[in-house]
Structure 1
Amino acid sequence: MKRRPEAVRGKLQIFQEMEKESRLREKPPELEYHAALIRGELGHVQPLMDQLFPDANVVFEIRKEEMEWQAESPATFGLSGLWTLEYKRELTTPLRIAAAHGHTACVRHLLDRGADPDATPGGRGALHEACLGAHTACARLLLRHRADPDLASADGLAPLHLCRAPASLGCAEALLEHGASVQQAGGTGQDTPLHVAAQHGLDDHARLYLDCRARVDARNSRGETALSLACGAAQRLDDLEHTRGLRLCALLLQHGAAVDARDEDERTPLHKACGHAQHSLVRLLLLHGAHAGALDYGGASPLARALQAAACAPAAAAQSTIQVLLNHGSPTVWPDAFPKVLRTCALVPAVIEVLVNSYTQLRVSESWKEMIPDEVYQMHQPFYQSLFTLAHTPRCLQHLCRCSLRKIFGKKCFDLVPLLPLPMPLKNYMLLEPEGVLH
């Protein structure tokens, strides 16, 4: 007669080798239990708990081997680094596994069997996992069983910090309904939930937190506000996320966010938006009074940041960013530095055109041709021929009149030029709209 296995309490160990071997023979019961929890098979979980695993707080110790890339100094491993085999050890609980995969029925069964909703072996609790996976039903169930809404993980993160996806809005609402702190700073960066929402372009989350009186200008350990983080994250967002990010920045500004708040590097939100050539965001910040001539710790202006980004940004975005900065009173590039700009931005002649037209008279040198690769010159020959023609002729009277009016209007060009009784082509000319050649 086959002997019935004894009930297991305490810790269950799962090794990578066990998973490989189980394909060839019958799975060990602990591996079956683990797999059933991952798949959410309550009909399989219940008998296993009844017969073998009655302790709902049993701890899984999962060990596996993983290849990791170790970056080392060139003197040690050449120019690249070294692949090393690392042994990983992870501690978790049945409740954490079920919550991480959104299996509400399994979560309910485990809680009814006495699972501790605040157990944190491995550094995170079940509520952290539910929020990270955006499983609202699981989060609400855990909270109804008195899970701590502000439980800190080993990294110092509360569940609200892990609401990082648009679908996690329901989790955030549930946490706040159960008393979670919207002001709590956590993690190595000491970010608040509003910082997290800003970093991930979550405008609905940000609105929720602000409605719960989150401090709009709270700073993290790097001196960044939510607005600063939102502008810095703009490069990583796709079109849909960019729209949400733009709404988020507008929302923060409507709630009184300091438009010129500086981080530890003295960079403003405008510096960060320009560094990604996000012209819509740049325009929004300038319309709210951002200082177009602010200098960061390294002496760089927003215009300098936009020029650095021009070579790798979409041409239209780079040109529009620089154009809107100049129309809001940004100082132009020091003439002696223009050859360097030409070298960096040669592929984007519209940027060069806008910059050249921001000077009353720029002393163009034939030697600047050396800054432009031959293939780029050939690709944009009409424009560059018109540029180097200026080495021998003064600018036209129309351009000089434009410069005189722009000097009078100063940083109000963007607001005042549209009010002039002029045809639209002339208004565009006044606002430095590129024409493809210089006169």
Structure 2
Amino acid sequence: MGELPGPVTEKLQISPKLDLEHPLTAHAPATKYYTALVTGDLQSLEVLTDRYYQDVNLVFEISKDDPMPGDLTRPRSLVPAGLWSLEYKRELSTPLCLAARRGHAAVLRHLLRRRADPDLAPGGRGPLHEACLGAHTDCAALLLQHRADPNLRSDQGLAPLHLCTTRDSLGCAKLLLRHGATVNLQSEDRGETALHVAARHCLCDHAWLYLRHGAHVDALSTQEETALNILCGQAPGTEGCLQLCRLLAAHGAEVDARDEARRSPLHKACGAANAGLARFLLQHGADVNAIDYNGMSPLGCVLQGAAFKRDLRPHVVVQQLLNHGSQKIWPPAFVKVLKSCAAVPEVVEVLFNSYSQIPISKKWAEAVPEEVLQQHQLFYQSLFRLAGTVRCLQHLCRSAIRNKLGSKCHCLIPLLPVPKPLRDYLLLEPEGVVL
């Protein structure tokens, strides 16, 4: 490597006033400095910076392979700003980044008062990124007061607002917007805005904040996903997802927005076996028979992943789709349903009962693994016993009623003056056997 320029070289020089016998600086001044930063030892830090002139803008090269006691990483060397290492498991950091990452506000204030650069980011993320990632609101406030750039991008093309990914980071998000953060700024890699990020993490309060500050509800990422597209791909049970779905819809989100693969939010919700979101989308007019570029419908999406999501009760999504008028599987292809969904007999039952009559072939029994047959013996015995027979009169009456009501089954059947068990039967509630 050639000779470094003068101002950069000075950062590598040890101050002539450094006392190598002092307990804080003897043997490994960089380690002592680093330890004081990551532990929040303000008293030691004041001595190191004020008496022994440790540079508040020093850049640490840190190796994660050589942990210090207390799960700290050891700084291997000091390098000038603007240089970076190609070594494996090495990273560059600054005093401000180290303090902000761990939420040491007092240390951060000390460094900023000694003119530490709030935007220095040799490791890819700046101090403000670190504060937002750790949801350290007090640290973010200090950095912004010292003119940290609220729109500074990391090496991954992310602004601090993109790193507000937990509920505790709401205070950071508010501060960023108050200090001029661009709410619709897109990340460089995925082209996602802060609203996309809030949707990915089901952060309803964040989304409400962004929408109040002018976030575009249907902004598209590089994969042509809206915030609603991203939200509907999240697993069921994630707190706040349904509430956020309602919020986005209330602000005019397109319920049938398609991504680059022509998948709609309903495709995503069904693929995730998210019955709550699927129900909401269907109630708000989502196209139950939308087809993506792979020829997959929402029903196909839930059937495709049902075997891996049995705990999420995917049959409930299948019921909802069929009760809203979803087209059924082509009868000769039903054997494929058995091959993929045999371990979830509730799905097989709901789909089988949506037909008035469907021929059962020998291939059906061959498609079900022996261990599944044993595990769900009662159901599959009742199913295969129907081969070559006509369904019972009760089922045929159900089919006639459902055919008459069509895509209105979901809203008209609950209005019928009949007992609840009969309404459930008409809505294809599984019973464990078929007749």
Native 8 Å contact 2:273 2:312 kept in 1:
no
1:103 maps onto 2:104 in alignment: yes
Native 8 Å contact 1:11 1:59 kept in 2:
no
Q: Which residue of 2 aligns with 1:413?
A: 409
1:207-234 superposed Cα distances (whole Å, 9 cap, x missing partner): 11111120110010001000111112x1
- The runs of 5 or more residues in structure 2 that have no matched partner are 1-8, 15-24, 67-85
C-alpha separation between the residues in 2 aligned to 1:315 and 1:400?
A: 31
Equivalent positions of 1:150-189 (< 5 A) are 150-189=151-190
C-alpha separation between the residues in 2 aligned to 1:356 and 1:225?
A: 35
Native 8 Å contact 1:310 1:345 kept in 2:
yes
C-alpha separation between the residues in 1 aligned to 2:98 and 2:387?
A: 71
Native 8 Å contact 1:265 1:296 kept in 2:
yes
Native 8 Å contact 2:335 2:363 kept in 1:
no
C-alpha separation between the residues in 1 aligned to 2:65 and 2:433?
A: 61
Cα shift at 1:285: 1.2
Shift in alpha-carbon separation, 1:11–1:422, aligned structure 2, 3 A: farther
C-alpha separation between the residues in 2 aligned to 1:428 and 1:155?
A: 51
1:333 maps onto 2:329 in alignment: yes
Q: Which residue of 1 aligns with 2:276?
A: 280
- The runs of 5 or more residues in structure 1 that have no matched partner are 1-7, 14-24, 67-84
Native 8 Å contact 1:199 1:230 kept in 2:
yes
Native 8 Å contact 2:274 2:312 kept in 1:
no
Native 8 Å contact 1:60 1:93 kept in 2:
yes
Shift in alpha-carbon separation, 1:64–1:415, aligned structure 2, 3 A: closer
Q: Which residue of 2 aligns with 1:290?
A: 286
1:281-332 superposed Cα distances (whole Å, 9 cap, x missing partner): 1111111111111111100111111011111112561111111111111111
Native 8 Å contact 1:99 1:127 kept in 2:
yes
Q: Which residue of 1 aligns with 2:45?
A: 45
Q: Which residue of 2 aligns with 1:222?
A: 223
Native 8 Å contact 1:9 1:58 kept in 2:
no
C-alpha separation between the residues in 2 aligned to 1:293 and 1:101?
A: 50
C-alpha separation between the residues in 2 aligned to 1:65 and 1:53?
A: 29
Equivalent positions of 1:268-417 (< 5 A) are 268-314=264-310, 317-417=313-413
C-alpha separation between the residues in 1 aligned to 2:214 and 2:232?
A: 22
- Matched residue type, 2:142: L
1:23-62 superposed Cα distances (whole Å, 9 cap, x missing partner): xx96501110011100111001000012333532222233
Native 8 Å contact 1:11 1:61 kept in 2:
no
Cα shift at 1:12: 8.6
SS of alignment partner, residue 436 of structure 1? coil
Native 8 Å contact 2:359 2:388 kept in 1:
no
SS of alignment partner, residue 308 of structure 2? coil
- Matched residue type, 2:110: H
Equivalent positions of 1:136-155 (< 5 A) are 136-155=137-156
- Matched residue type, 1:185: Q
Greater shift after overlay, 130-139 or 314-323? 314-323
- Matched residue type, 1:167: D
Q: Among the aligned pairs, what percent are the same residue?
A: 56
SS of alignment partner, residue 418 of structure 1? helix
4+ runs deviating over 4 angstroms = 63-66
Native 8 Å contact 1:222 1:264 kept in 2:
yes
C-alpha separation between the residues in 2 aligned to 1:38 and 1:316?
A: 42
Cα shift at 1:264: 0.7
Which of 240, 244, 248 aligns to 2:244? It is 248
SS of alignment partner, residue 44 of structure 2? helix
Shift in alpha-carbon separation, 1:315–1:396, aligned structure 2, 3 A: farther
1:148-202 superposed Cα distances (whole Å, 9 cap, x missing partner): 1111222221110111111111100111111111110013001100011111111
For this pair of structures, how many residues does the alignment match? 398
Shift in alpha-carbon separation, 1:225–1:47, aligned structure 2, 3 A: same
Shift in alpha-carbon separation, 1:158–1:397, aligned structure 2, 3 A: same
Q: Which residue of 1 aligns with 2:418?
A: 422
Greater shift after overlay, 259-268 or 120-129? 120-129
Q: TM-score, normalised by structure 2?
A: 0.87
Q: Which residue of 1 aligns with 2:11?
A: 10
- Matched residue type, 1:133: G
Q: Which residue of 1 aligns with 2:21?
A: none
1:392-413 superposed Cα distances (whole Å, 9 cap, x missing partner): 2111222222112212222111
1:36 maps onto 2:36 in alignment: yes
RMSD: 2.0
